[in-house]
Structure 1
Amino acid sequence: MKRIKDVLSQWVRPGMMWTIVLVIVAVGLMVFALSFDKKDSSLSYISYCISAHSLAVLIVAAVDEGRKMNSKFRQNPLVSHYLNNTKLRARISLYQGLFINSLFAVFHVLASWIYTSLWFAAVASYHMILSVMRFLLLRSEQMRSKLETDEEKMVHELHQYKLTGRLLLVLNIAMVGLIVQIIWKDRGMHPLGPMIYAFACYTLYSLTVTIINMVKFLKMERPILSAAKMLSVAGALMSILTLQTAMMTQFNDNPLFRRNMNTLTGTSVSLIVIAMAVFMVIRAKRALKKLQLNHSET
Structure 2
Amino acid sequence: MMGLNLLFVAMKLFFGVYYRSFWFGTLGVYYIMLAFMRFMLLNHVNRVGIGTEILPEWRNYRICGGMLVLMTIALSGMVILVVRKNESYNYAGYLIYVVAMYAFYNIISTVRDVIKFKRYHSPVMSASKFIKLASALVSMLALETAMLMQFDVDKNPESFRRNMTAATEGTVCVIVLILAAYMIVHSTREIRKLRNSPKEGRVLRF
| Residue ranges of structure 2 left out of the alignment (5+ in a row) | 201-206
1:199 aligns to 2:102 (yes or no) = no
Give deviations 1:217-248, integer Å, cap 9, x for gaps: 35662211221221111111110011001101
The one-character-per-residue Cα deviations of 1:271-298 (angstroms, maximum 9, x if unpaired) are 010011011112212322333344489x
Candidates 139, 150, 159, aligned match of 2:43: 139
The 3-state SS of whatever aligns with 1:217 is helix
Q: Secondary structure at the match of 1:244?
A: helix
> Partners of 2:199 and 2:141 in 1: how far apart?
47
Please say if 1:128 is aligned against 2:18.
no
Aligned equivalents of 2:112 and 2:199: distance in 1? Answer: 37
1:108 matched residue in structure 2: 12
Aligned to 1:234: 134
Structure (1 or 2) with the larger CA radius of gyration: 1
2:150 paired residue number = 250
CA contact (8 A) 1:191 1:249 kept: no
- The one-letter code matched in structure 2 to 1:186 is N
Q: Does 1:267 align with 2:170?
A: yes
2:18 aligned with 1:99: no
Q: Distance in 2 between matches of 1:143 and 1:155?
A: 14
Q: Distance in 2 between matches of 1:205 and 1:188?
A: 23
CA contact (8 A) 2:58 2:124 kept: yes
Residue in 1 that maps onto 2:84: 184
Tell me the distance in 1 between the aligned counterparts of 2:93 and 2:26: 20
- Aligned: 1:212 with 2:112: yes
Answering whether residue 114 of structure 2 is matched by residue 225 of structure 1, we say no
Given that 1:109 and 1:121 are in contact with CA atoms closer than 8 Å, whether structure 2 keeps it comes out as yes
Look up the SS of the partner of 1:193 in the other structure.
coil
Hey, what's the Cα distance between the residues in 1 that align with 2:185 and 2:26? 29
The answer on 1:283 being equivalent to 2:183 is: no
User: What is the DSSP-based 3-state SS (H/G/I as helix, E as strand, rest coil) of the residue aligned with 2:93?
Assistant: coil
Q: Which amino acid in structure 1 is aligned with residue 30 of structure 2?
A: Y
**Is this contact kept in 2: 1:108–1:124, CA < 8 A?**
yes
* Structure 2: distance between partners of 1:296 and 1:117: 52
The alpha-carbon distance between structure 1 residues 193 and 262, as it changes in their structure 2 partners (threshold 3 A), is: farther
- Give the Cα–Cα distance (whole angstroms) in 1 for the partners of residues 172 and 118 of structure 2: 20
Give the 5 Å matches for 1:142-153: 142-145=46-49, 150=52, 153=53
How far is 1:170 from its partner?
Answer: 1.2
SS at match of 2:87: coil
User: CA 1:230–1:163 in structure 2 vs 1: closer, same or farther (change >3 Å)?
Assistant: same
Q: Name the amino acid aligned to 1:123.
A: L
Q: Structure 1 pair 278/217, CA: closer, same or farther in 2 (3 Å)?
A: farther
Offset at residue 181 of structure 1 (A): 0.6
C-alpha distance in structure 1 between counterparts of 2:139 and 2:36, whole Å: 18
Structure 1 partner of 2:204: none
Q: RMSD over aligned Cα, in angstroms?
A: 2.4
Q: 2:26 and 2:55 mapped to 1: Cα distance? A: 35
After TM superposition, the score normalised by the length of structure 1 is 0.60
Equivalent pair of 2:113/2:129 in contact (CA under 8 Å): yes
Please tell me whether the aligned partners of residues 169 and 277 of structure 1 are also in contact (alpha carbons under 8 angstroms): yes
Deviation above 6 Å: which 4+ runs of structure 1? none
**Cα 1:120–1:176, aligned 2, differ >3 Å: closer, same or farther?**
same
Query: % of aligned pairs identical?
Result: 31
Contact 1:158 1:287 in 2 (8 A): yes
Structure 1 unaligned blocks of 5 or more: 1-95
Residue identity in the other structure for 2:78: L
